Chains A and B, each alone.
Chain A
Amino acid sequence: MTTAPPTGRRYRPPAPLGGRRRVESPKHRTAIAAAFLAPALIVLGLFTIWPMLSALRLSFTDASGFGEPEWVGLENYIEVFTDPDLLGAVTNTALYTVLFTPVAVAAALGLALLLNNPRLPFRSFFRTALFVPFVVSFSVAAFAWSYLVDPQVGLLNYWLRGLGIQLGNVLEDPNLAMPMVVLVAVWKLFGFYFVIFLAGLQDIPTSIYEAARMDGAGVWSRLRNVTLPMLSNTMAFVLVFAMIAALQAFDQIYVMTGGGPYGSTQTLVMEIYESGFRKLEIGFASALSYVLLVATLLLSLAQFVFFGRKEKDLA
């Protein structure tokens, strides 16, 4: 393992041994630190913090890109949660998250557990091969999968027909389009979660397994009583990571379905893109942005609370 344990070690200033260097005042030290920090803080402040605050202000207006925006109070937010068409973006995003997270995380965990068997040949080949989709862009993944499930010339459609499974026109089918765009996301991202689980598994000391084996624990018992509890931190991290990725789904949907058919794959970010950049309903799109922001914050906070508790348990 190469990364540093965040020891939280106190920085100790060098002992004043009377070298050539003069003793620095705290003010001078702060000035040096400010010089190191300034470029990054300017970029983050200007291009992340400021737009975030700006979106909050816009979300209470009817800004449209033309004329002076007027204050409309909570109107945009009420619209998000009452208009059935727009509520669709919220429910579709929730559905996407509920489909994506368990499938991607279970596939990653299952494969990591199996690969962790030292007797398995070609382990590093399998690990690399399963990680490759992570470097392929969502949009290229979307082109390839669209072709594979093409109703006329798609190879996957053809093979599945040979097995007696009729897929039909997946991307035009309101019941199948969502599972399809989720499948593309699972394909692209599971390899990332898989290698995180592998790293977590390698951190479990083998002595614990040996002790469990001596006590007569079988494969399942060792999995349930040793492996899974020891992996719970990794699991929490991957779960939150996967859920946040799901909340932000956009690329492959934009390419494969454009939010259709009949709005069945219209997610939050698709709706932000369309209302903000196509229809220029900027106030409304900003309200949607804040729904996304708050959902992400809640998930991240849940993670912090969880990790905080874990760390206290260990101490």
Chain B
Amino acid sequence: MPQFIHRILLCALVAPGLWAQQTEVVLSATSSAKLVLAMTSPKTSGLDGAAVAAEFTAVLKRDLDESGVIAMLQERLPADGAPTKAWKEAGAQWLLHTRFTKAAKGDLEMEASALDTAAEKGVFNRTYIDKRSGPLRYFAHYLADDLVGRLTGEKGVASSRIVFVRQVSNGVKELFQVDRDGAGAMQLTRHGSLSLSPAVSADGRLAYVTYKGGPPEIWGQRKKDGPHERLYPTSGAGGMLSSPTWSPDGKRLAFVQGDRRGNSDIMVLDLAASRAKRLTDGNGINTEPSWNPNGNQLAFTSDREGGPQVFLMQDDGSNLRRLTSEGLYNASPAWSPNGAMVAYVSRFEGKFDLFIYKLGEGKAYQITTGVSTSESPAWSPDERHLVFTSNRFGSSQLFTTDLSGRQIVRLSELGGCQSPRWIRGR
């Protein structure tokens, strides 16, 4: 299966025209083949060149490594002034030049250009200006994302963020976010209570459940960068509430409401009309809704046939069908951003592993294996990775994996983490 996933990735690399020759090289290489990029020393004016070289280059290298599609050439580098041919002979397919300028107003400017060493033609040229004179890390992230975008047609996710829940003290959990590389951890809520089940809309609006008033309520942002306010129920108590999930257009919120008879149902709240509609039929547990990218279907977990299994339905509750067939406990469905896959967890011998169900094939593939548990998968916006939680180092921490399950990376050393969601940063 990992082989298969790599084939998919490699196919994504096949870009027409300009890189026809290069594509052949990639395809003829082993499954670990990536575009090889070399970088000349950054030119600087008004900044400490050595510091820039150290910080910027290290972050860019890591970003590109994690992209899975570009590798940075590290050894046998020609001198900076060497002709393009020398770089090509050293193995570089693209040669990157960067120039940093500190402008008079304090703005930092980075000019980046890349050259195809075979065709000796420019393939990339862009200037970045950071008005906040922000850290060099972000320039590296933006550049990595654009280089990946230039190569694959879809922007990378180095500048993306992970929003998650973290326990801050006994009985108190708050929302946090961290950059995709594990830096820049930041607390997003301070309710001093249980805050759970974060969701982030495409335009960056949060929704989550908080127990700050006693019974759970759904809180979130009606407007981008707006204040956190109660979204549901509009008055009174709403029973058990969990799992708010924004529709892809950000206008509706799927969530779960439990009644006093022990049932929990998938609901959809139309935010403009402030009207909630029940999609499932009050038959046992229905939870963990996940929209497809068109916003016309939902995957969810239900125990209607015994133990928890993953089901699919239309956004009006019709056309209900069971997705998972093997295993006694399948849950946490996450529909992939392009719609072809559903990630989920399956319980086996007391721990969970990540699986991916390919809708086109009607088959499930196991991603993680091991003695520790892997839970709460969420897709990267480019669909190349999953973020999940695992207790493999003791406390529940955030990890990412590629779709083969071979490249598992601990994203952050923060403990007590749960329910990660992966969103674009810009």
Same complex origin of A and B: no
Residues of B in contact with A (beta carbons under 8 Å apart) = none
Residues of A in contact with B (beta carbons under 8 Å apart) = none
